[in-house]
Amino acid sequence: MLNGKKVLIGITGGIAAYKICELIRMYKRQNAIVQVVCTPNALNFVTKLTLQNLSQNNVATDEFEIPDFKPEHIAYANDYDIFIIAPASANTISKLAAGICDNLLTSIACAFQKPIIIAPAMNTGMYENKIIQKNLKILKDIGYQILEPEDGFLACGTNGKGRLCDLNKIFDKTIEILNRDNFSNKHFQKKIVVTAGGTIEDIDPVRYISNYSSGKMGLAIADEAFKLGLEPVLITTKYIQRPYKVKEVKSALEMKSAVEQEFQKADYVVMAAAVADYRVKNKSEQKIKKSADDILMLELVKNPDILKALCSDKKHQIIVGFCAESENLENNALEKLKQKGCDFLIANDISRKDIGFNSDYNEVTVFDKFGNSTKLDRTGKNEIAKKILDIILK
C-alpha cells in the first residue's frame, strides 16, 4: 500500500532507536522508498550500517555533507512524502517546537511542508515534564501528528508512560495519511463494506465445512478502495491487520450479523465472500466419536442469503455480488443477478486453476442490472479490484 511512496524516517537519541530497524522493514515490505536521517546521538543506539542495510539507502546525519549543489535539508524536505520522527526525544521535540535547526533532522523538519508524525519515547518524568507537554502541544496545534507513548516497562527500569507506541500504530498512521492526503477525489470517506473468505460452518469442536476461498479477492478490493480514499470495513474469515476497520467472523450467521451492523451507513457493499449455502443443523458440542457404522449422516439447513436480504433492504447503497461458476458462466451470472437483485454481479470461472479461488490472479466479467457486461482479462487480484472499483464507483 506504500508502493513508490517516499518515507523519510528521523531517528533521535533514545534507546527505542533500535525498534526503528523493524519499522524500516515494514515500510520496505510495502515497497516504500525509505531514507533515514539520524541525529548524531541516535547513532549511539543503533549503527549506521544496520540502518543502511535495512533501508537500502545511505543514512544522512550531517547537514554539510552535500553530494550535489542542493542543500541536503531542503532536498529531503522537497523529495519526501512524509516525515516520521521516531523515537522523538524530549530534546528534539523541544527544538522543533522552538524552531531550532541545529542538525540535519531538525533543519529538515523546519523546512518540511508535508505531514510529520512524531512518536515520542522517553522516561516518564521527562515525558510528564510540563515543558515537554507544552512543546508537544505546540507541535500538535500546528498540525504534527503526535502518537502518544504507551505505559509499560521502560529501559530505565521503571514502569510508566514513555514507551514508544506500537510500531503498527506508526505504520498504520503513515498509510492513513498518505492515502488520505490526496483528498481531491469524490470518493473520500464513502463507506464500503467488503466481505472476504469462505465461511466456516462447525460440525463439532474439531471439524467444520468450508471452501477454498482465501479471502484475497475481498482483501484486494478493500485495500484498493482504501487507497482511493474510501472508508472500507472488511468483514473476513481470514483475519489480517489493516489500517482500516477489519471484523473477523467465522460462520455465515456471524457474517450476516456483522454486515447488517455496517449496512445502514454503507455507500457500497461488495460480497466477495464465499458464503456456505448450508450449515450443520445440530452442531455437536462434543467431538463426534467414530462409531461402528460406515456412514455418518449430517443434516444440513439452509443459511440465510445475505446478499439477497441486503438487496431487498437497500436504500441508497450500491450492492455488488460475486458469483463463482464452474459452467455456463454468463447465463448463470445473469440469472443470479436477477434473482439476488443486486446492482452488479461479478462472475468468475472457478473451473480454472489459474484464477479465482486461492489464486493471486483473477479474470472476471462484471454484469450490471441494465444488461451491460465488461470482461476484465486475467491479471493480479489488486489490478482486478482497481478495475472493478472503477466500474462500480462510476
Instruction: Please give, one letter per residue, the 3-state secondary structure of 207-272.
Output: EEECCCCCCHHHHHHHHHHHHCCCEEEEEECCCCCCCCEEEECCCHHHHHHHHHHHHCCCCEEEEC
Question: Considering only CA atoms, which of 351, 384, 381, 354 is closest in space to residue 366?
Answer: 384
In angstroms, rounded to a whole number, what is the distance separating the alpha carbons of residues 356 and 359?
6
The footprint of ligand PMT (CB under 6 A) covers: 213-217, 252, 271-275, 277, 303, 305-307, 321-324, 348, 350, 356-358
Nearest distance in Å: CB 315, ligand PMT: 18
DSSP letter string, 126-143: HHH-HHHHHHHHHHHHTT
One-letter amino acid for residue 135 of the chain: N
- Residue 84 burial (CB < 10 Å; 0-12/13-18/19+)? buried
Question: Considering only CA atoms, which of 201, 256, 253, 196 is closest in space to residue 220?
Answer: 196
Q: Is 323 a catalytic residue?
A: no
Cell of residue 113, nine digits: 511542508
Contact 360, 380 (CB under 8 A): yes
**Which of 172/383 has CB closer to ligand PMT?**
383
Nearest distance in Å: CB 341, ligand PMT: 11
* Unique residue bearing C-alpha cell 438487496: 311
One-letter amino acid for residue 123 of the chain: N
- Catalytic hit among 156, 165, 311, 342: 156
**Which of 88/324 has CB closer to ligand PMT?**
324
Nearest distance in Å: CB 242, ligand PMT: 16
Nearest distance in Å: CB 344, ligand PMT: 10
Cell of residue 48, nine digits: 549506521
In angstroms, rounded to a whole number, what is the distance separating the alpha carbons of residues 209 and 218?
20
What Rg value do the Cα atoms of the chain yield, rounded? 26
Nearest distance in Å: CB 345, ligand PMT: 8
Contact 164, 16 (CB under 8 A): yes
**Which of 92/359 has CB closer to ligand PMT?**
359
**Which of 323/392 has CB closer to ligand PMT?**
323
**Which of 190/216 has CB closer to ligand PMT?**
216
Nearest distance in Å: CB 298, ligand PMT: 18
Contact 223, 1 (CB under 8 A): yes
* Unique residue bearing C-alpha cell 549543489: 69
Kindly state the DSSP code that residue 51 receives in the 8-state scheme: H
In angstroms, rounded to a whole number, what is the distance separating the alpha carbons of residues 376 and 353?
17
Nearest distance in Å: CB 247, ligand PMT: 15
Cα end-to-end distance, the chain, whole Å: 23
**Catalytic residues, which ones?**
156
